[in-house]
Amino acid sequence: MDSDRFEKAILSLVNLFREGFYKNPNQFDIDVFAKFMDILPQVMIITSRLEEDIVEFDSMSKYFFEYAKERKEISETEIKKYSLTLPKLMLDLSDFHIYTRIFLDTLTVCIKRSFKSAGNEKWDIMEHSINCLLNKDKLQKYKREIDLDFFKNLKKQKINYYWIK
């Protein structure tokens, strides 16, 4: 996981919404964007915590493997530390999943609201879940019925901001 690249991509997305996807936002649009902005630092913190947990778990696993291979005795303190490493990793992984899902669902609402602000009459057919953007059939329906140019612009912006290589 490259947290710097992840952070740059997210901040590019924030700028994308600031610079033009929301035109004349109403209070709901502002609230959705604020929720998006509130969740962002939490996702970033959890991502960095998860990276640290993975490094720590990997390091401790190698340490224990080497000691076991050489039949050295491991201290009780080290065993306690190791026994807490996996649950900590699992908890942070769970947090990552939960907050990322909330973040992505909020992102989907931001995209949906941007359709409305662009004047698309069928903006409301889009669901409030990231699953709708990941579902190939639904995505094709949105491209057909909402605004193909919007999706083309979003893809172009993604390429410009190094989201996909």
Residue carrying structure tokens 């908890």: 91
pLDDT, position 113 = 77
Task: Confirm whether pTM is higher than 0.75.
Answer: no
pLDDT, position 147 = 59
Residue 104 pLDDT more than 70? Answer: yes
What digits encode the pLDDT tens for the residues 13-42?
777 776 666 666 777 777 877 887 888 788
- Over residues 100-125, mean pLDDT: 77
User: 1 falls in which pLDDT band (50, 70, 90)?
Assistant: low
19-33, 62-76, 110-124, 143-157: lowest mean pLDDT where?
Answer: 143-157
d(CA 164, CA 82): 37
- Over residues 65-94, mean pLDDT: 84
The CA–CA distances, whole Å, from 125 to 76, 106, 143 equal 59, 16, 11
User: 162 falls in which pLDDT band (50, 70, 90)?
Assistant: very low
Quick one: DSSP state of residue 128?
A: S
% pLDDT > 70, the chain: 75
User: 157 falls in which pLDDT band (50, 70, 90)?
Assistant: low
Domain residue spans in the chain?
3-160
Quick one: DSSP state of residue 72?
A: -
Q: Return the structure tokens found at 98.
A: 């939960």
pLDDT, position 165 = 42
